Each structure stands twice: as C-alpha cells, then as structure tokens.
Amino acid sequence: MTPGTVISPADGKIIYINQVEEDQIPIAVKKGKKIALSEFVGERIHFRGGIHIGIMMSYLDVHINRAPIGGVVKRLRRIPGSFHSLKHIDSLLKNERVFSIISNPDLTIGMVQIASRFVRRIVPFVKEGDQISQGDKFGVIKFGSQVDLIIPELEDMIVAVDVGDYVKSGISVIVRHKKLKSERSIISV
C-alpha cells in the first residue's frame, strides 16, 4: 500500500473527472446529461464534496479490477440490470452494477463497476467485511465496461490524471493526498 494515494481500480481511459461541491448531490455526467449518484448506486448515500472519476475499459483492456485503497469492504451491493452499450447515458441506470464502499481509518471511497452490452456478469472476489490491501484483486468484468470512483475531498488533494489519460489497474495513481479534509467529507449510507 502506498500511503496518501488512490490507485486506479481498472485498466482504461479516464472519461470524466467531476468536481462535487460541499453538500451537493454527486452526479455522473456523460454527453451533457446528469444522473443523481444515489440513483446510480441504487441507494441513498451521503457524500459532501470531492470528485467523481469514470474509467472506461475497452474489450482490449485487462478486466480484473483492483482495490484503489486498502481497508475494509463496508458495502458490496449488486444492482441487477440489463447489458446495453455504455455509449447511451440511460445504460448507466439500466445496466448491471456492483456498488462498493472501501474504508480505512484515513479514507472512505465508493466504487461502481458497470457492465456493458457484451458483459454477462460482474464477479466480485471479495465480500462485505473483508480486509483488503491496496492493489488486491477486487473483481472482474469482461469485455467493455466502466468503473467509477467516488473520492471525498482530501487535504492537499492532487488529481494525478486528466480526461483522456490511459491508466493501469493497481499501478496508476489517480489521486495523491495527505488526509481527509474533515470528518464530514466521507461517504456513508
């Protein structure tokens, strides 16, 4: 584990980096449309400021997903759905997804694995309550798909990627930070 970093959970291309202001509902923006994150993850969550990053995996990428931080898997929820192309914004709400929350004493983040039209199943390698290390295998999605990260506002946070960058699972640093900016900047359900 590399202290003060959040690493990429997936091989793929950064498709968006959305700033989320204090007390706003996080949103996923794709092709100009907005979706409330609570609708996206299938349950009400509280998130008070930070960033929302989307990573698109092509069918050529390795589809093993890795833990972006070390900690305890606090939530692992499968949201049943269909398997449409992720080029259509409606697919983010219709397709099968797995929503996870990973927490350690310094940081709590959310991760959403999203199936695409060629995927028939997202297979988690962990369960709620498991202790994982940063970079551990977390699950697999086959062919084209997407993984989103929900990261709270952190002290001295530096987003180390830009839209269009290609990242490697378990290797590429997505965010560098010192610690949580405040106790209120966490994800909870």
Residues with a catalytic annotation lie at: 145
User: The dihedral of CA 53, 139, 169, 80: what is its sign?
Assistant: negative
- Total length of the chain: 189
Query: Which tokens go with 129?
Result: 């309550």
The residues, ordered by sequence, that sit 6+ positions from 175 with a Cβ below 8 Å of its Cβ are 5, 6, 51, 151, 154, 157, 158, 159, 160
In terms of Cα–Cα distance, which of 138, 135, 136 is closest to 113?
138
19 contacts: CB under 8 Å, gap ≥ 6: 51
Residues 6+ away with beta carbon under 8 Å from 167: 8, 10, 11, 12, 13, 14, 55, 161, 174
Place of tokens 């929350």: 101
List of residues 6+ apart from 122 with CB closer than 8 A: 78, 96, 97, 98, 113, 115, 139, 140, 141, 145
